[in-house]
Amino acid sequence: DVKVTQSLRYLVKRTGEKVFLECVQDMDHENMFWYRQDPGLGLRLIYFSYDVKMKEKGDIPEGYSVSREKKERFSLILESASTNQTSMYLCASSEINPGQYTGELFFGEGSRLTVL
Amino acid sequence: KNQVEQSPQSLIILEGKNCTLQCNYTVSPFSNLRWYKQDTGRGPVSLTIMTFSENTKSNGRYTATLDADTKQSSLHITASQLSDSASYICVVSSYVGANNLFFGTGTRLTVIP
């Protein structure tokens, strides 16, 4: 089974602090994604990556950056956390482009971030 | 504009009853539609996928339908169980563009004994 691991499930940070969220997948998937999920807004794409060292902005990239130095690892960075970044962050991976028939997204368990 | 709308926002049903969740979309060109189930505090998990040529597909007690002409999909849950309590998210994909997934905001289903 595909496993997408987000090691930090819950974290509390203060405004201005740097936040580093890590995601690791074990199925050699090419594509990895970072979403945030907020009540009433659903999942919104922050950044995605279709290859090592490659990144593309999603719908809401402001205030975030990402790093993909190895195929299995995709990190989300908040350089200076703000209260409006309090949210659930979900990492996902897929073998191929999710727009294609077999492009199922496999999600991690999520990282719930609270910024005070 | 590509959009996905789900209804109702929330639903409470008695254990053993059936229910139907709706998903309307305007995504074009259409590639496929997936229903995901998200348990509280967990990541979403795919239940079923529908392509343009498929009208109905079942996965146990879950049956998804797709009407590509009216751009509507439904997820029918039969003989609900307490474990069906979750959010159900409709995701429509297009086969063009790098950012080609469009998410509904989900239906929160609560099954009570």
Pull the structure tokens for residue A9.
């499930």
pLDDT the model gives residue A95: 84
Residue A53 confidence class, pLDDT cut points 50, 70, 90: confident
Residue B113: asked if its preceding bond is cis (omega within 30°), the reply is no
Q: Of A114, A62, A66, give the one whose Cα is nearest residue A87.
A: A114
Mean pLDDT within A21-41: 94
**Above 80 in pLDDT, residue A102?**
no
Percentage of chain A modeled with pLDDT above 90: 80
| Pair type for strands B107-112 and B10-14 | parallel
Provide, as residue numbers in chain A, all residues whose Cβ is less than 8 Å from the Cβ of B45.
107
Dist CA A23 CA A5 (whole Å): 6
Q: Which of B9, B23, B99, B107 is best to mutate for the A interface (most A CBs within 10 A)?
A: B99
For residues B77-103, average pLDDT? 92
Judge whether residue B78 has pLDDT over 70.
Answer: yes
Asked if residues A63 and A78 have their Cβ atoms less than 8 Å apart, the reply is: yes
Query: According to the model, what pLDDT value does residue B95 have?
Result: 80
| A85 SS3 class | helix
B 70-89 near A (Cβ less than 8 A): 89
pLDDT for A2: 66
Amino acid identity at A3: K
**Cβ-Cβ contacts under 8 Å, B106 against chain A:** 42
pLDDT band at A101 (very low <50, low <70, confident <90, very high): low
How many CB atoms sit inside 10 A of residue A87's CB?
20
pLDDT of A27 strictly over 70: yes
B54 vs A16, higher pLDDT: A16
Percent of chain A with pLDDT over 70: 93
> Which of B36, B42, B99 is facing A109, going by the closest CB pair?
B42
Mean pLDDT of A77-84: 97
Is residue A84 helix, strand or coil? helix
Chain A hits for B41, CB-CB cut-off 8 Å, are 109-110
Q: Which residue of A has its CA nearest to B10?
A: A40
User: Which of B35, B95, B101 to probe the A interface (max A CBs under 10 A)?
Assistant: B101
DSSP for B42-91, written as a single string: S--EEEEEEETT--EEEETTEEEEEETTTTEEEEEE-S--GGG-EEEEEE
Question: What integer is the mean pLDDT of B92-96?
Answer: 86
Q: What is the mean pLDDT of residues B11-26?
A: 98
